[in-house]
Amino acid sequence: MRKNGSSAAVRTPLGAFGLYAGSGKITALTFSPPEQPRILPEDAGVLREAERQLDEYFAGSRKTFSLPLSLPDKGFSRRVWELLAEIPYGETRSYSELAAAAGSPKAARAAGMACHSNPIPIFIPCHRVVGKSGKLTGYAGGLELKAALLKLEGVIL
């Protein structure tokens, strides 16, 4: 997770999050705010826009995000993150479906690890991935947060 550069604390109905940016792109979102937020001039605009889009998402008026994101190039993980971004609001996929879409149908566990290492959750919606049975499984922010995000999107589990 790349947290060097700018950082900001964002209040949401589900708690305070940390937003991180560098070179005018969002680099990370964490489920706890930074201890000492620091906003560099070149990142101020993208951090304000990210906060605005999060506010709209939590208010139920935003279904997709349109922000410049900076993701590390990590092969299979990068492919999984790109596929996560394509899962529509209010829908879910299983880890095995995600692995198959990434070109490795037997790599459900690796897809799960990629979801767990997603540096920009919510904007890259790894919360929309569930177990093969449709049940909630791991989430870096905890299962309660995952359930709350899916409920916000109208997903019934």
Sign of dihedral through CA atoms 79, 49, 34, 142? negative
- Domain residue ranges of the chain, discontinuous segments joined by +: 6-59, 76-152
pLDDT of residue 156: 83
Total residue length of the chain: 157
pLDDT at 7: 96
pLDDT digits 0-9 by tens, 16-44:
999 999 999 999 999 999 999 999 999 99
Mean pLDDT on 56-76: 94
Q: Over the stretch 86-95, which tens digit does the pLDDT of each residue have?
A: 999 999 999 9
Closest among 123, 119, 1, 127 to 50, alpha carbons compared? 123
Among 102, 126, 129, 150, which one carries the catalytic annotation? 126
pLDDT of amino acid 3: 61
Strands lying side by side in the sheet with 15-22: 6-12, 15-22, 25-30
What percent of the chain is modeled with pLDDT above 70? Answer: 97
CB atoms closer than 10 angstroms to residue 102: 20
* Class in CATH terms, 76-152: mainly alpha
Question: Whole-number mean pLDDT of the chain?
Answer: 94
The per-residue pLDDT for range 126-139, each reduced to its tens digit, is 999 999 988 999 89
pLDDT for 6-20, tens place per residue? 999 999 999 999 999
Is residue 30 within 8 A of residue 45, CB to CB? The reply is no
> pLDDT over 90 for what percent of the chain?
90
Residue 151 has a pLDDT of 96
Active site residue 126: yes
Q: pLDDT-derived band of residue 2, with 50, 70 and 90 as boundaries?
A: low
